[in-house]
Amino acid sequence: MPKKKTNQEKSHKLSELITYYEVCNKAEGKSPKTYNWYSENLKRFRGYVLNRHHNENINSIDVKFLREYILYLMTKHRFENHPNNPATSELLSSSTIHGHVRTLRAFFNWLQRENLTVTNLAAGIKPPKIVKKVISTLSDEEIVAILHTFNSNSHAQIRNKVIFMLLLDSGLRIGELVNLKLDDIYVNDGLLKVMGKGKKERMVPIGNKAQKTLQSYLFRYRAKAAHSDIKNVFLSVNGTQLTENGIKLIFKKLAHESGVERLHAHLCRHTFATRFLLNGGDVFTLLQILGHSTSHDLKKVLEFYTDDCVFEDLALGVVCHGKKEFTDQINMLFTDIPDLKWEVKSAFGTNDWQGNDWIMSGTFAHSSIPGMPTTGKTFSVGQAGIYQLRNGKYSRETGYMNMVTFLQQVGLMPGQPK
């Protein structure tokens, strides 16, 4: 009598497994946006399998094949074979490819967990490094230019103006905005009840101008709902719920009409976060407003707004707009010192420092320094100084110890330490 095949030995088609994986993701309570993202990425992988005339049996796929797929993605252009958008000359971004790798890792991990494969083929595959882009927030002039594009005689234009002002004033994600219900608006209290990622509910404050504009929209300009069960705040001209794609199209048109070509909805969120901190807001309050909760989220928040901050070091006589330019200028002062490199880093979590300040730390490879033989020695916070936010600028007068004094102490600069 032939031996009965185990679950791992059975032949499973990729298409069947993708469908089953989506069912499991739904059953685990993942959001439609999340499980659809996984499914679309996996369907693209399956398309690659079929185009290569490869066996669709999951057991026929190996690590080499997965790496070839990643290399294939690196050659593809944005919106290539997209049903609605024309292809561009721009290649898929590193973050997009990173997402595809994360999908494969999650999928093959699930296959192993469900005893559908013996090993996790994707476990050893590292995603490509994401290119770090400088995020420049909206300037006052750009905001004014955008506001001037709205036509006060059009109900749709008034709705779009409210959307722009609300995103800029609250830092909401567009998914949170389109899902706002009438019962979630506490106009008199200046609060919005928002359902964020991970089905976490939070209260988000809005300013006086946004309050008045939103109240006027709700009472005078909001379209009549196509059905009585539609309770969304923002509706299309047909009275149906406005979608995320609808918001993206509104901002695409707005970018063209205002001349602010780099405008997109999420840029409003970055702008809100930057201005909140520069106006003296607390970083932990900001995290709560934005719906972030982890230290990784905090690092992201602290990183993206520093390019709009002014850094100054009065002890060294350096003042620059943006962290990168400031760091470059500091390093230029010490070009004659071998292998010395300064870097501005977040002070959060360093020596129990809990503020949204920054430290200047340095590394060097100089084994002849007395008492510091270790290659790659890192200077401490006390040796480099803390840059604290004062009047919209990150400033250090002397810190705990002047950097020049420290370098003189360890023999890297001539002169007597003060």
Q: What is the DSSP string of 242-259?
A: PPHHHHHHHHHHHHHHHS
Distances (CA, A) of 266 to 75, 184, 233, 248, 282: 27, 21, 19, 10, 21
Answer whether 165's CB lies under 8 Å from 216's CB. Answer: no
pLDDT given at position 37:
92
d(CA 46, CA 21): 14
How many other CB atoms are found less than 10 A from the CB of residue 88? 11
The Cα 220–Cα 250 span in angstroms is 21
Instruction: List the pLDDT tens digit at each of the 418 positions of the chain.
Output: 454 555 554 678 899 999 999 999 999 988 888 899 999 999 999 999 999 888 888 888 999 999 999 999 999 888 777 666 666 778 888 889 999 999 999 999 999 999 999 889 998 888 888 776 666 788 899 999 999 999 888 899 999 999 999 999 999 999 999 999 999 999 888 999 998 887 888 999 998 888 999 999 999 999 888 898 999 999 998 999 999 999 999 999 999 999 999 999 999 998 898 888 777 777 778 888 888 766 566 566 656 555 556 666 666 667 766 667 777 776 776 666 656 666 666 554 444 444 455 555 556 544 444 444 444 444 443 344 555 555 555 555 544 345 555 556 555 555 555 5
User: What domains are there in the chain, each with its CATH number?
Assistant: 14-113 (1.10.150), 140-277 (1.10.443.10), 309-409 (no CATH)
CA distance 308 to 22: 41
Structural contact between residues 47 and 54, judged by C-beta atoms closer than 8 angstroms: no
Q: Are 88 and 78 in contact (CB under 8 A)?
A: yes
Classify burial at 46, counting beta carbons within 10 Å of its beta carbon; exposed 0-12, middle 13-18, buried 19 or more: middle
**Residue with the two structure tokens 């803390």:** 386
Q: Which residue has the tokens 């990168």?
A: 324
Which pLDDT score, from 0 to 100, does residue 325 have? Answer: 73
Would you state the pLDDT for residue 366? 46
58: phi then psi, degrees, rounded to nearest 5 = -60, -30
339 contacts 412 by C-beta, under 8 angstroms: no
Are the CB atoms for 263 and 141 separated by under 8 Å? no
| pTM for the predicted model, two decimal places | 0.67
User: How far apart are alpha carbons 398 and 384 in whole angstroms?
Assistant: 9
